[in-house]
Amino acid sequence: MHHAGLRGFKHTEHLFFSAINNKVIEVTFNKEIDKATATAVTAKVLDGTTTVSAAPIVRTDNKSLVLPATGTLDQNKTYKVAVNQIKSKDGKEVISNVSKDVTVVDTTFPTVVNAVATTSKTIEVTFSEPVNISNEAKVWEEFALNGINLYATVSGATTTNYTSNKVILTLANKMNNGDKFVVTPKLKDFANFPVTQKEFTMSVTTDTTAPAIAGAKVLENTPGAPGSTKVEVKFNEPVQSATIATTSADFTFTPAGGSTIQIAGAGVANSSGDNATFELTLADDLGPAALVEVVISYKGVKDIEGNEVKTATQFKFQAEDDTVAPTVTAQLQTGNKVLLTFSEKVLNATTAANYELYDKDNKKVATTITPSVKSGDTTGTLYELSFSNATQLDGNYTLKVVKTNNISDLSVRNNKVAETNLPITFASISAPTIQGDVIAQVDKDFTSDTKQDAKIKIAFSKQMDSANTTNLANYMIKLSTADYKFGNLFTGATATLSTDGKSIDIVIPGSNTAQLDIDAVTNIAATDIKIKVLGVKDVNGNLLSSSDLNREITAIAFVSDAATLTSVEATAKRAIVIKSNVAITSIDPNAIKFVKSSGTDVAQTLGVASVSFSSDKKTATLTLNADIQADGNYNVAETGGPDVAALDMVFISDKAVVNALGQCVAYGVLTDSNTWNGVGSNYTIADKIGPSIITTDPVVKGSTDDTILVKFDEDIKTQFNGDVANDLTVKIDGVTLDNVKGEFTVATTANDDEFEITVKKPGVVDTNNVLVSLVSGRYLVDNSTARNRANTFTDVAIKTTDKITEKVAPTFTATGAGNTITVVFSEQVEKASAENIANYTYKADGTNTEAVVSAVLGADGKTVTITTTTAVTGATSTIDASVKDLAGNTSASAPVTL
């Protein structure tokens, strides 16, 4: 047999590979591994690219595993053993992409190491190597007892046979002490070598003791099956599995303080084949109480000898307390999918609501995330996320496992994954497209020979591969009525890629100084040129979009000032965002001016300080040198009183905004420092700025100190929605007020830029500890066409000199019997006021006032016990109270009938 060793593949792990025989290959590690990560995917034997091994079996030491072949391994043949993504038991290390060639050479005859009677009806046979045997019940020529072929049931042929060279024979009848057991040469190994015959004298001990449970533990459920419904139970000897009662009170589990749970139907499994260790599936979840104690009650279980547990017997154990939450890492996959690797098996990882994607500016990306189990994964730790806009994702993003996620491990505690931010750098996988029109210039000399040439400019959406895009064989060009011709067939033609790689200039030399003549075609106009673009690719290897590939495009004449902007928006007080369908190659901040909308007056104090571009250069952000108002307006006045107005953007140079086609935005000039001549493009700046709270507010309303004024930097009154109360958090002295219970209300004021919050919670007295938060701007928008939502804010305090006191008068109810009346106020009241008998009016007959002897305030601060001289007479008796609450508000006169 051939043995192969490998060291130092990652960190300090050592691997040792060994071909045990023509059936089994062994992999040994230098430390314990996570058994769950050893699967048919993570450990395999390959014949070329074909997997020829079944799922690995991890030995009990957790330091080695065996890979049984699906068939028989060929003698003297070399196979590749591959190990990838197997974790150490502590989860700190991962074996990645390790492989080794192992040659199978088996020239050794198998021998019988031992045969032991474990009971009077079972024999454990140990060999020098795995033997070719199957799990079945029959008369075996391979085994004999007292000279007669043995009828027995073999178990362990595909488990312990491979891991420890052992099988178990269960006999139909009991053996006697001294019986002769023989293993015959009919039994062979996987190289077809026979076992050397060997005889054993059976030492049989009489067993009259019923089996007992020796140990138990709660197992992890399979992913997707929440709760603790699997338990491993180990008996002290082999038992008859059929005697483990399912759906019966004869075998139950009771967690601490809980109800009795039975074994589910078909819930008994013995994967090891030893008939002693069973995986039991319960009919219900043990729950967290299993951490305290689980009581197993069992009877009716029989061992192989037939000894039975006659009376209900208990075994107590506790579930292992796992308090470590799973963690997760992310790795980009082909097609901009993301592979999530959890540190252990988890539940609910395929719930889309657990994930959100944010761009580099920490803005949430509108995309549909579809999570799924990684194809072929059996570890329960690998999940793949796909994105509906995958082709549009390019560059740095953050994938968030949200704070409210329900991803948890399979432990009894169901430890939850913490909020996690995972940086992702997406690849550019979108197909490049042709941007705008194909531009042709036909009236200039581009080759310095005095003759007019053709210059064709094509702009692309992405950076293109230089060698591929400048290959003229990738372009077919038609001149007027001539046939299409590959670009490389035009004499002297050249192709030059722009510095940013997003546009190409194709120059075809002409032969006439007065007009464009190429070959036999004369007097060619720009619109006489047609072009088809073939297999050009971007720098990431993405082929030109199918919508543009081989599409016939008629060129248009070059117009120097034909560049246009698709939108101009103020997104912040110092930020204006402009967009174009064609990449913008340059911007001159000094050539951009702002004028009063529909006018020519220049805002002299407002200008562009700096410029930044998006990755595709179709979007530019202009940073201003001064603040515009939240409504997008600005004071354009030179002198005198203010002249606040909406703004237009205008241009005064051919360098103001230039696109990839070499075109500029149409421009004019300044006739003086304050006046634009009205020539060229002008774009009205759209207001996309959300209202923001003025940082020196909110303030307490002057006339009624129970009201907070919340003031914004622009008008919000016209669009005000009272439902904003649901998105407000008001904290007073650390306690959050409940608007559903009426503890505060909201309303507009006479001013357009504010609303007020009136505090109505009883007991709020003379406090400055007031914090206001807006968690969403959905009900607070400005008056712009865009209806921009207000910017949220958190824990904004009122001014230090202001204080809040609620102004809601207390109400009361009352009951009476004999000479005692009990008055209960809606809130706590002042003790002195409550116990002042002059503050009560009692009328026994409903008309005449009777004396009140005493009034005593109870411990709750709300209940007053009143003693009178005249007894309550019934439905005609009334009590009225004028008592102050802790805020000084007096209860309104409202006699209550007793």
- On whether both 588 and 679 belong to a single domain, the answer is yes
Burial of 356 (0-12, 13-18, 19+ CB in 10 A): middle
Domain finish residue from 426, 452, 471: 426
What is the token pair recorded at 406? 């329900």
Mean pLDDT throughout 601-618?
A: 93
- On whether both 99 and 129 belong to a single domain, the answer is no
- On whether both 98 and 124 belong to a single domain, the answer is no
Q: Residue 166 maps to which CATH number?
A: 2.60.40.1220
Q: For residues 284 and 287, give the distance between their C-alpha atoms in angstroms, rounded to a whole number.
A: 9
- On whether both 707 and 680 belong to a single domain, the answer is no
**For residue 163, what is the enclosing H or E element?**
helix 160-164
Mean pLDDT throughout 268-272?
A: 88
- On whether both 888 and 864 belong to a single domain, the answer is yes
Residue 621 resides in a domain: yes
- Does residue 279 surpass a pLDDT of 70? yes
Which of 219-228, 407-416, 588-597, 707-716 comes out lowest in average pLDDT? 219-228
Residue 308 is predicted with a pLDDT of 97
Q: For residues 789 and 16, give the distance between their C-alpha atoms in angstroms, rounded to a whole number.
A: 64
Residue 647 is predicted with a pLDDT of 97
Mean pLDDT throughout 517-522?
A: 94
Under a CB-based contact definition with an 8 Å cutoff, are residues 307 and 236 in contact? Answer: no
- Does residue 316 surpass a pLDDT of 80? yes
Q: For residues 859 and 828, give the distance between their C-alpha atoms in angstroms, rounded to a whole number.
A: 10
Q: Where are the alpha helices (DSSP H) in 768-893?
A: 831-834
Q: What is the 3-state secondary structure (H, E, C) of 599-661?
A: CCEECCCCCEEEEEECCCCCEEEEEECCCCCCCCCEECCCCCCCCEECEEEEECCCCCEEECC
Angle at 504 between CA 498 and CA 509, to 5 degrees: 115
Banded pLDDT at 97 (limits 50, 70, 90):
confident
Angle at 253 between CA 248 and CA 257, to 5 degrees: 125
- Does residue 9 surpass a pLDDT of 60? no
- Long-range contacts for 99-102 (Cβ within 8 Å, ≥24 apart)? 100/4, 100/6, 100/15, 100/17, 101/4, 102/2, 102/4, 102/17, 102/18, 102/19, 102/25, 102/78
Query: pLDDT for 329-385, tens place per residue?
Result: 999 999 999 999 998 889 999 999 999 999 988 889 999 999 999 987 777 889 999
Closest-CA residue to 894 (of 785, 833, 812): 812
- On whether both 129 and 163 belong to a single domain, the answer is yes
Count of structural domains, the chain: 8
Residue 88 resides in a domain: yes
- On whether both 383 and 462 belong to a single domain, the answer is no
- Which residue in this structure is represented by tokens 């053709």? 454
How many residues would you count in the chain?
Answer: 898
Query: pLDDT for 623-674, tens place per residue?
Result: 999 999 999 999 998 777 899 999 999 999 999 999 988 899 999 999 998 8
Mean pLDDT throughout 614-630?
A: 94
What is the token pair recorded at 233? 């139970």
Q: Residue 709 maps to which CATH number?
A: 2.60.40
> Helix, strand or coil for residue 354?
helix
- On whether both 585 and 669 belong to a single domain, the answer is yes
- Structural domain of 550: 434-557
pTM of the model: 0.54
Residue 410 is predicted with a pLDDT of 85
Mean pLDDT throughout 718-727?
A: 90
- On whether both 632 and 737 belong to a single domain, the answer is no
Residue 207 resides in a domain: no
Q: For residues 778 and 399, give the distance between their C-alpha atoms in angstroms, rounded to a whole number.
A: 25
What is the token pair recorded at 463? 């950076």
Residue 223 is predicted with a pLDDT of 60
Under a CB-based contact definition with an 8 Å cutoff, are residues 471 and 415 in contact? Answer: no
Residue 6 is predicted with a pLDDT of 33
Residue 696 is predicted with a pLDDT of 66
Domain finish residue from 61, 78, 104: 104
Which of 92-106, 450-464, 832-846, 858-872 comes out lowest in average pLDDT? 92-106
- On whether both 141 and 176 belong to a single domain, the answer is yes
Q: For residues 605 and 621, give the distance between their C-alpha atoms in angstroms, rounded to a whole number.
A: 19
The DSSP string of 213-273 is: EEEEEEEPPPTT--S--EEEEEESS-B-GGGS-SSSTTEEEEETTS--EEEEEEEEE-TTS
Angle at 643 between CA 637 and CA 644, to 5 degrees: 120
In sequence order, which residues have a C-beta less than 8 Å from that of residue 140 and are 6 or more positions away? Answer: 149, 150, 151, 152, 154
Residue 11 is predicted with a pLDDT of 40
- Does residue 74 surpass a pLDDT of 90? yes
Residue 305 is predicted with a pLDDT of 87
- Which residue in this structure is represented by tokens 């106020």? 825
- On whether both 792 and 755 belong to a single domain, the answer is yes
Query: pLDDT for 214-248, tens place per residue?
Result: 999 998 876 656 668 899 999 999 999 999 999 99
Q: For the chain, what is the radius of gyration of the CA atoms?
A: 43
Query: pLDDT for 530-577, tens place per residue?
Result: 999 999 999 989 999 999 999 999 999 999 999 999 999 999 999 999
Mean pLDDT throughout 100-126?
A: 95
- Does residue 703 surpass a pLDDT of 50? yes
Domain finish residue from 506, 532, 557: 557
Q: What percent of the chain has pLDDT over 70?
A: 97
- On whether both 169 and 116 belong to a single domain, the answer is yes
Residue 2 is predicted with a pLDDT of 37
